[in-house]
Amino acid sequence: MTSSSLLRWFPAAMATFVMDLVTPVWNIFLANTPLYVVSVVNCEGDKSEDCDSDGELITMETCVFAVFEFISGLVESRQLRDLLPPILPTLTLHLISHMQPTHSQVERWLGDVAQFVDEEEQIFSYSVRLSAHDLLEAMWEEPSLRNHTHSAITAAVEKHLQTTRSNSSPNAWKIEEACMLALGCVIMTPNTSFSAQQFTESVVMSTLQSPSGNPLLLGRSLWLAGKMAGRLKPGTLDQLLQSLVTALLPTQHSVLRVLAAKATCK
């Protein structure tokens, strides 16, 4: 039985020992995030792999899944979720880092739009990216954590975007795409202080006007704009509509067209 299972099934009994587990799990999570980004998201350096006592392959993704499962146990536990608010800002910052599309995902999606739709809709596959998104959503949907999560998401997005402005790496677009995916959680509910208009003007429109933007990033921008449409000024909506029409042209990349079509359904 894993520690995550113990948290879910025996939260009261685990309350006495939980800090003995939280501290090492938290330290592993913080230490592994930059390694995951370098080796898996950006495919730079060697990916660490090993086998457990049963001969099962242990990858960096396996470790991330285990940490996310542990944190999910805290979110679900009425007795233990009070441990989360103090660490939510840092936790959310790292979750968004894990929501970046990996090098292999980008290659698959741009090469076969059917695989993109499969992973986007969680039909037959699951990934660290989706797991991080689901954990963020679970925190947002928990009433006692909602305000904390809202503040953490908006602060984390601002910090990540500030970093990308001074980053000339060809992979910098991935964190911007992940930020937009994360913001989809925040604006799902109308009663938030997030400024859809300001974000659209300062980030979304700037991204859409980039002539060399990655199809995934351009599509995610339209997807997010579709979610925010009810809070935008008419003039901004007109500009977005023009971008949407362009994105739906047969000459555009299939991934961009799929996300543009999803934007019209929001």
Whether 181 and 213 share a structural domain: no
Whether 111 and 206 share a structural domain: no
- Per the structure, the count of domains in the chain is 2
Single residue among 139, 166, 190 that ends a domain in this structure: 190
Instruction: Give percent of the chain above pLDDT 70.
Output: 85
Whether 27 and 66 share a structural domain: yes
Asked if 4 contacts 73 with a C-beta cutoff of 8 angstroms, the reply is yes
Single residue among 190, 209, 228 that ends a domain in this structure: 190
Whether 204 and 186 share a structural domain: no
Task: Report the pLDDT averaged over residues 138-163.
Answer: 94
Whether 96 and 218 share a structural domain: no
Whether 129 and 208 share a structural domain: no
Higher pLDDT, 258 or 266: 258
Whether 42 and 99 share a structural domain: yes
Q: How confident is the model at residue 56 (pLDDT cuts 50, 70, 90)?
A: very low
Whether 86 and 9 share a structural domain: yes
Whether 140 and 214 share a structural domain: no
- Which residue range(s) make up the domain with 171? 3-190
Whether 119 and 237 share a structural domain: no
pLDDT value at 107 more than 90: yes
**What pTM did the predictor assign?**
0.89
Task: Please give the backbone phi and psi of residue 12, each rounded to the nearest 5 degrees, phi first.
Answer: -65, -45
Task: Report the pLDDT averaged over residues 124-131.
Answer: 86
- In the chain, what is the greatest distance between 2 CA atoms, to the nearest angstrom? 61
Asked if 70 contacts 7 with a C-beta cutoff of 8 angstroms, the reply is yes
Comparing 5-14, 147-156, 163-172, the range with the smallest average pLDDT is 5-14
Whether 27 and 159 share a structural domain: yes
Task: Report the pLDDT averaged over residues 199-216.
Answer: 91
